[in-house]
Chain A
Amino acid sequence: MIEFQDVHKTYRVAGREIPALHPTRLEICAGEVFGLIGHSGAGKSTLLRLINRLEEPSGGRILVNGEDVTALDAEGLRRFRQRVGMIFQHFNLLMSKTVADNVAMPLRLAGAYSKSEIDRRVAALLQRVGLEDHARKYPAQLSGGQKQRVGIARALATEPDILLCDEATSALDPQTTTQVLQLLAEINRELKLTIVLITHEMDVIRRVCDRVAVMDAGHIVETGPVTAVFLHPQHPTTHRFVLEDEAVDEREQHEDFNHVPGRILRLTFQGESTYTPLLGTVARETGVDYSILSGRIDHIKNTPYGQLTLALIGGDLAAAMSRFEAADVHVEVLR
């Protein structure tokens, strides 16, 4: 478990104190995939780098599995960092070393592994990320997705408990992003590794994270399970990220509804209720007529969800709404 206890960070630029992270309390549970989302400059990169002290905190304590990492000396910090893997937006592989040598690097730096042990681990890691045929190549000969997989293999070399991902898919195309996210989810599942990732794309959060914190101007403005934050965003910043993911302009959409008669509702289905034939049943039983104005059915990590905007006309509207709520569907009246 990673615990932030009133951690804050200010930079001194030209004699002035610039706050990058306001005092923050945060708990990241062991074994979960935790996402930090925010626009650039929101402080998410600072928060991530505080965990392995690539950034030194200006105050507060950070506990990792009960150990205060802010109190570690240089040697203690080195040993701690060997238990925390990290991958980067621009991969940060050594161009002068082969794929195998890049993956072996954390093991050689730790100095605690025999040559045969290193060879064995590197072969196993390259197999895990599907690059066993590229061991002798140099990074410049690989595609972006392949480079990131080398980065992941390298980060896993010392069998860390925590993997930090710094915008790991932001430099990749959509198809490669999907593959890298699948690999991260698989690693989290199989190695029971805690993953902390930062991103500016809600889509990344939706696909792999269990919990999320939304950051804005150095503050965590909203935090919770991804299903809750994604389906029922509270903070304006969170709203904007969700809308960006759906690629809809809310105002535009509402203007379209001006010509639609009746009551406009947004129904949010989650989990099993997503696939129940609820709409037809309710319409028959209460005599309301409906038309679907917009909708989306997708997954949040492994949870299916659906979000429908409906116009309801005639019949017993109150009965229809209580029927929806009885079926565990969240109802929001838009008009």
Chain B
Amino acid sequence: MDAFFSGLFSNVDWYDIWLATLDTLLMLGGSLLFTLLLGLPLGVLLFLTGPRQLFENGPLYAFLSFVVNVLRSLPFIILLIVMIPFTVLVTGTSLGVAGAIPPLVVGAAPFFARLVETALREVDRGIIEATQAMGASTRQIIFSALLPEARPGIIAATTVTAITLVSYTAMAGVVGAGGLGDLAIRFGYQRFQTDVMIVTVVLLLVLVQILQSVGDKLVTHFSRK
């Protein structure tokens, strides 16, 4: 059995695979955390300043919307390179896990913010009206009604964003970020080591499956049906 495996995956260094997996998970965790911290308030602000909303503000909404659209229309591979000076400024390096997180966050936060805005728009206006009628302040409307009601939508948005980040981390390998994508490109593609390619792809696939099913379970739980 052992011989069979070592024959089949002769190029695969399982320790390297383990380190690369760890790097991918670190990049994913770190960038997801900052994406949520940045994207959630941005999404709430987009929603509130939008047309016919609580803090309707045409110019501010147009500005935020424009910035979000610009960042979203930039291909991630370009963003990675354009961001290098800024990344060095923030983390001191453009390499490794630390070097990958700033471009990942800048790439994913606008995307997540848009999804949050959409999730908040799905909340029935009647619920906002009922909360206003109870004498709630705007702050209370946001934290006691809007966000709890939009929770399933925001969780679904987080799932989609996390999966997008997995594919972004693979691309970040190009600029020396490490991780499974980096391994796949350097060994699987450039050295024609098909077995390394298969192992990394399978691991990425498993990761995405886990993220999706955990996300779906949480959405179902918080939908309170």
Q: Which residues of A contact B (CB under 8 A)?
A: 52, 54, 74, 77-82, 84, 86, 88, 90, 92-97, 105-106, 108-110, 138-141, 154, 158, 164
Within 8 Å CB of B145, what residues of A? 94
Task: State whether A92 touches B135 (Cβ < 8 A).
Answer: no
Separation of A106 and B148 alpha carbons in the complex (Å): 16
Separation of A11 and B140 alpha carbons in the complex (Å): 28
- 16 pairs, CB–CB < 8 Å, chain A vs chain B: A77-B135, A78-B136, A80-B135, A84-B133, A92-B126, A93-B130, A96-B151, A96-B222, A106-B134, A108-B144, A109-B136, A109-B140, A138-B225, A139-B224, A141-B225, A154-B134
Task: State whether B135 touches A54 (Cβ < 8 A).
Answer: no
Q: A93-B130, A97-B148 are in contact. List 7 more A-B contacts (CB 8 A).
A: A54-B133, A74-B137, A77-B135, A109-B134, A110-B135, A139-B224, A158-B134
Within 8 Å CB of A96, what residues of B? 148-149, 151, 222, 224
Chain B's interface: helix, strand, loop or mixed, by majority? Answer: helix
CB distance from B143 to the nearest CB of A (A): 10
Within 8 Å CB of B222, what residues of A? 96
Of B134, B136, B144, B148, which is in contact with the most chain A CB atoms at under 10 Å from its CB?
A: B134
Q: B145: nearest residue on chain A (CB-CB)?
A: A94
Q: Which of B126, B144, B148 contacts A90 (CB 8 A)?
A: B126
Which residues B80-121 have CB closer than 8 A to chain A? Answer: none
Task: State whether A81 touches B149 (Cβ < 8 A).
Answer: no
Separation of A78 and B137 alpha carbons in the complex (Å): 7
Separation of A37 and B19 alpha carbons in the complex (Å): 72
Task: State whether B135 touches A78 (Cβ < 8 A).
Answer: yes
Within 8 Å CB of B135, what residues of A? 77-82, 106, 109-110
Separation of A74 and B139 alpha carbons in the complex (Å): 13
Q: Is B205 an interface residue (CB 8 A)?
A: no
Q: Is B124 an interface residue (CB 8 A)?
A: yes
Within 8 Å CB of B136, what residues of A? 78, 109
CB distance from A51 to the nearest CB of B (A): 10
Separation of A106 and B144 alpha carbons in the complex (Å): 11
Separation of A80 and B136 alpha carbons in the complex (Å): 11
Q: A139: nearest residue on chain B (CB-CB)?
A: B224
Within 8 Å CB of B126, what residues of A? 88, 90, 92
Separation of A110 and B224 alpha carbons in the complex (Å): 26
Q: Which of A81, A90, A94, A139 contacts B133 (CB 8 A)?
A: A81
Q: What 10 pairs between A and B have smallest CB-CB spacing?
A: A81-B135, A92-B130, A138-B224, A82-B135, A92-B126, A86-B133, A96-B148, A106-B134, A78-B135, A109-B136
Separation of A109 and B142 alpha carbons in the complex (Å): 12
Q: B127: nearest residue on chain A (CB-CB)?
A: A92
Binary CB contact string for chain B from 212 to 225 against chain A (1 if under 8 A, 0 otherwise): 00000000001111
Within 8 Å CB of A140, what residues of B? 223-225
Decide: A92 near B129, CB < 8 A? Known: A110-B135, A140-B224: yes
Within 8 Å CB of A92, what residues of B? 124, 126-127, 129-130
Within 8 Å CB of A97, what residues of B? 148
Q: B132: nearest residue on chain A (CB-CB)?
A: A54
Q: A98: nearest residue on chain B (CB-CB)?
A: B224
Separation of A108 and B134 alpha carbons in the complex (Å): 10
Within 8 Å CB of B149, what residues of A? 94-96
Q: A102: nearest residue on chain B (CB-CB)?
A: B130
CB distance from A314 to the nearest CB of B (A): 62
Task: State whether A105 touches B144 (Cβ < 8 A).
Answer: yes
CB distance from A323 to the nearest CB of B (A): 54
CB distance from B134 to the nearest CB of A (A): 4
Within 8 Å CB of A86, what residues of B? 130, 133
Within 8 Å CB of A110, what residues of B? 135
CB distance from A144 to the nearest CB of B (A): 15
